[in-house]
Amino acid sequence: MHEFVLPLTPTSITIVTNDVVAPLYADRARSALSTFAATTTTEIPDGEQHKRLDTIEHITNALVRNRVDRGGIILALGGGVVGDIAGFAASIYMRGIRYVQVPTTLLAQVDSSVGGKTGVNHPGGKNLIGAFHQPSVVVSDTDTLRSLPPRQVSAGLAEVLKHGLVADAAYFETMAASLESMRAGDTAALANAVAGSCAIKAAIVARDEMESGERALLNLGHTFGHAIEGMTGYSAWLHGEAVGCGLVLAARLSEALGLLAESEVQKVMQAVARAGLPTRVEGLTAKDAVETMRGDKKSHAGEVRFIVLEGIGKAAQRTVPAHLVVHALHAGGFR
């Protein structure tokens, strides 16, 4: 990995990783880099529930302790949560230092490591505190996916399906057809997904980095997904699981708006199910979901805008009447 990091000529390297990834890769990363620059490792606890402002403080304390200056870089080694947290810490330390993403989960490799969205959650909503801060380099090694639990592979596939649904029907079909081989760990199939998803996402982000328009389409399934995560305390559901279920809800909502055929909704639902992801919720109420979504970043002047599908491979942004949202939620298992 040093061949990607050294051209940045860092004065120091701070590896930020978690207690699950560290035993697997931290020592290897550190020894690959430490001959070139002072390299230290800072561990954070694993899990979305630690994506909080006090974890940022934990990292900045380490940066101060290690006397990291403006020429230092942070290397985010882990999944999407590590990347979001480490990237946000980099964005606010000394008003911004550089960072490198080394994603070790499928979800991070296909989605979150690209695009520069960083941040932490707030009890009032997901990613409410954060910054746009682009990584200097993203290094994805599909070999690291071999150590990934099946549930995490499925979570990553949610974002792969999302990219197809948002922007590329042919990509959706190809990916839907190789879900089983990707779940079985077929490296070539996984590498296709990483390359294909990054290409779709990077093209959209390049046209609209700050999400003033088109980039918002990448939030397909996320308003619903964030609500599910928020209502369950960011711990019971993986982000990708909530997004998978959110894709189905977004498809149902699109159908209720008359934009998507019932057969297309079934296609989305079957792909999500075959990816090993939940297609329904249990034990949550539509009322709480609506309340939670009103606090989401995508809400504006009290109205929640949704990303909907006008077909497979064609997303659009809409303000939706509340009763249709409730209808879609009920169809998805909300009480």
Choose between 35 and 210: whose C-beta lies nearer to its own copies: 210
Which is the catalytic residue, given 159, 229, 241, 255?
Answer: 159
Say whether 65 is catalytic: no
Say whether 215 is catalytic: yes
Which is the catalytic residue, given 51, 58, 117, 133?
Answer: 117
CA 331 to chain centre: 25
Pairing of strands 303-309, 315-319: antiparallel
Q: Which helix (H) or strand (E) holds 307?
A: strand 303-309
User: What's the closest the beta carbon of residue 115 comes to its own copies, in angstroms?
Assistant: 12
Choose between 47 and 295: whose C-beta lies nearer to its own copies: 295
Residue 115 backbone dihedrals phi, psi, to 5 degrees = 115, -15
Strand partners, 174: none
Pairing of strands 73-78, 98-103: parallel
Say whether 117 is catalytic: yes
Say whether 2 is catalytic: no
User: What's the closest the beta carbon of residue 60 comes to its own copies, in angstroms?
Assistant: 6
User: What's the closest the beta carbon of residue 206 comes to its own copies, in angstroms?
Assistant: 18
Choose between 93 and 234: whose C-beta lies nearer to its own copies: 93
CA 324 to chain centre: 27
Interacting residues with its own copies (CB under 8 A) = 11, 53, 56-57, 60-61, 64-65, 67, 69-71, 91-96, 117, 119, 122-125, 127-132, 294-295, 297, 299-302
Closest by CA position to 118, among listed 94, 89, 78, 160: 89
Say whether 201 is catalytic: yes
Residue 127, SS3 per DSSP: strand
> Residue 281: CB partners within 8 Å, gap ≥ 6?
228, 245, 332, 333, 334
Residue 231, SS3 per DSSP: helix
Q: Burial of 60 by CB count in 10 Å (0-12 exposed, 13-18 middle, 19+ buried)?
A: middle
Length of the chain: 335
Say whether 95 is catalytic: yes
User: What's the closest the beta carbon of residue 13 comes to its own copies, in angstroms?
Assistant: 13
Choose between 121 and 192: whose C-beta lies nearer to its own copies: 121
Say whether 133 is catalytic: no
User: What's the closest the beta carbon of residue 118 comes to its own copies, in angstroms?
Assistant: 8
Say whether 173 is catalytic: no
User: What's the closest the beta carbon of residue 213 comes to its own copies, in angstroms?
Assistant: 13
Say whether 267 is catalytic: no
Choose between 106 and 293: whose C-beta lies nearer to its own copies: 293
Choose between 24 and 53: whose C-beta lies nearer to its own copies: 53
Q: Which two tokens stand for residue 287?
A: 């009322």
Say whether 52 is catalytic: no
Which is the catalytic residue, given 219, 252, 255, 267?
Answer: 219
Which is the catalytic residue, given 18, 30, 163, 211?
Answer: 211
The radius of gyration of the chain's CA atoms, rounded to the nearest angstrom, is 19
CB 68 within 8 A of CB 85: no
What residues are labeled active site? 95, 117, 159, 201, 211, 215, 219, 222, 226, 239
